[in-house]
Structures are given as C-alpha cells and as structure tokens.
Amino acid sequence: MNAQAERLISADSHIYLSDEHIKGYLSREVKTAWDQARATFSADEEKLRDGQRPLQMEDFVDLEAARDPGYFDPAARLKAMDRDQVEAEVLFSEVGGAKLARPELMGSHWQAGLRGFNDAMADFAAHDTKRLLCAYQLPLYDIGFAIEEVDRLLALDARAVQIPSFPTEFGLPPLSDRYYDPLWARLQEAGVAIMNHLDYRRFHWDTFRHDPTPQKGIFTAVIATGIQESICHWILGATLERFPKLRVVLVEPGLGWLPWFLGLLDQRMHDHYEFPGVKLLPSEYFRRQMAATFMDEPEGLAACYKAFGPDCLMWSTDFPHPATCWPNSQRQVQDQFAAAGIPEQDRRRIVCGNAAAAFNL
C-alpha cells in the first residue's frame, strides 16, 4: 500500500475452491462420499428450482473480478488485493462445505469431509495468514467435534468461523438452544469471531420459482431480512447474555433496516413480551457484541452509524460478487463515507479498526 492509501480490511470477500480441489484433501473413501453428497444436494436444489437454471455471476455483469485468478489462487489473490490497496480480507468459500459434509449426505465420512474442506481453506490462507483470513466452517451436528475442530483450526491461525445460519433446516435446535453453549464458550474463550452469513432457506425457493425478473431480483432481495431470525435467537434467546464476550458478525445483511428492527425489538421489551434471562435492551446487546458488514450503502451506513455508533460496522469488498468495489475500493470508501457524513476518526474504525480488533490483527 502506498503512503497515501487508507488502511482497508474487508470483513466479507469470497474465494472459489472447486470440488476437485477440495477432494485433493480427502481420502479415496471420503472422495466418493463427497461426490455422492454433491450429487444428492444438486439434485435436491434442481428439484427446488423446478427446472430453472441456477443464477450465475454472468447473469448480472461480465465481472472483471470473477475472471481474476485471485478468485481461485492465493498468490494471485494477494496481488489482486495489492491492486485494490486492501490490507486483509475475511474469505468465505463459494462451496458450502458444511452443507455437503452432513451425516445424512456423507454418512460416517462427514467429519473427515469437513476437516478436508477446512484444510483446503487453511492452505489458501497459509500464503499469508495475516492477510487471508478464512472463515472456517463449523458443523453443529456434534458439538464435541465442532470444539475439536475449533482447537485444530486455532493451531492453523484461525481468526473466524462460519456457522450454519439456520440449523433448524438440518433438524438441529435453533441457535438460542443451550445445546450449543459449550461451543459458544470455547469460541468466547479463544476470542474467535462467529460469522453469521446471510443464506437462503428452503422456503425461499418458492420465491425463486415464481420470480419473473431476469436476475431473480425478488429472490435475492428478500433473503437478507431472513437474518432477523438469527438476530432474535442470539439476543432474545439470551445467548449473548450468557456469553458477554462472544462476537457475532452479521455478513451481508443490508444496513438500512437494522435500526428499525432493533428499535422494534427494544419496544417488545416494554409490550408484555417476556424474554427470560435477557437483561439489556436488544439494541444494547447489538452494540456490545454484534457487527454488520456492508459494501456500498451510504444511506444505510448513515442510519446505522446514527443508531449504533461506529463499532458495529465493518466495511467489505464482497469480491468478486456483483456488488464488489474492486479494484476501486479506495475511491469507493472516500465517496461513500463522504455521502454518509461520517468523520475521519470513525471512518477508520469502520473500514479497518473494528475488523482488526475482531479478527486479532
């Protein structure tokens, strides 16, 4: 980075590791189970799409970023980041390892499949673990195994983990259930941030099937607010009260609706609703322990800054998705924060300081 560049850390960027690449970290038996899981998962999604083809990034725009080798290769990724003058990125895999490495899809090989997937991520990060911060995926089927995986990944310099946003989709308890408490306790103790990425649910496929717009703009628009359920389980289910130092980052939620929604939850505390164990207002838990990532959303940024202050916000590039600002992140930051009216000191916290603290940089 040159002396004039702003220090930037992206809390949400993406890499693509193919099934063939991931299978390089699996034994022969586990490779076969992975292929079977992929076939079953893909057939299920095809049925849910009712024959309509899946969305591709080319449906939105011919993205320069999606063609950049940094999407696939760690050495090239560092060059892409240098071109964008971004110091570090939290990286999410396009392949959902925890969605394939499930007991009902991989049988007794699911744990080995998940470890191999995380090993592939770790090898990507190993090129520079201070700049390439992988969000390693944790399954929730076996909390003892999840804790073992946390400990194993800590030895590989892990800074963040990604969990399934809606475990009830897989027949598991909701995020507020005490079943997960030993895992939250270990992550709190280790100071590892939980990345709660937006995701679709099975019922969203009904919206997909009936969406008449070319890029499924209705389908993609409604997914973000689904993270409301996660917020409620973290806060109203008293999880953040039980674990006051646990850090949860909401990834790609959109910002504009958050002040309204947290205000609504605050009002619930005074409207005859009971939330056992919840001692603070929901907005206070949000300020204390949660954060939200964003790309280019000056109005939502201004609204969240006014409602919550600077410490709950983390800028991101979303490389290489359609919303990405790569390779013009420095200009985008200057323009967006000027439009949002955020002072320089707080801008620095939002574009790098909060992420540096959350991910122990």
Structure confidence at residue 243 (pLDDT): 98
What does the pLDDT profile of the chain (361 residues) look like in tens digits? 555 789 999 999 999 999 999 999 999 999 999 999 999 999 999 999 998 988 877 777 667 888 999 999 999 999 999 999 999 999 999 988 899 999 999 999 999 999 999 999 999 999 999 999 999 999 999 999 999 999 999 999 999 999 999 999 999 999 999 999 999 999 999 999 999 999 989 999 999 999 999 889 999 889 888 899 999 999 999 999 999 999 999 999 999 999 999 999 999 888 888 999 999 999 999 999 999 999 999 999 999 999 999 999 999 999 999 889 999 999 999 999 999 999 999 999 999 999 999 999 8
Sequence letter at residue 250: L
Cβ-based neighbours of 113, under 8 Å, separated by 6 or more: 26, 30, 33, 34, 37, 97, 100, 101, 106
Residues 187, 201: Cα–Cα separation, whole Å: 26
* pLDDT of 62: 61
Q: Which residue has the tokens 């990125």?
A: 89
| Contact between 155 and 118 (Cβ < 8 Å) | no
**Which amino acid is it at 123?**
D
Q: Taking the mean position of all CA atoms in its chain, how far away is CA 275?
A: 27
Give the model's pLDDT for residue 225. Answer: 83
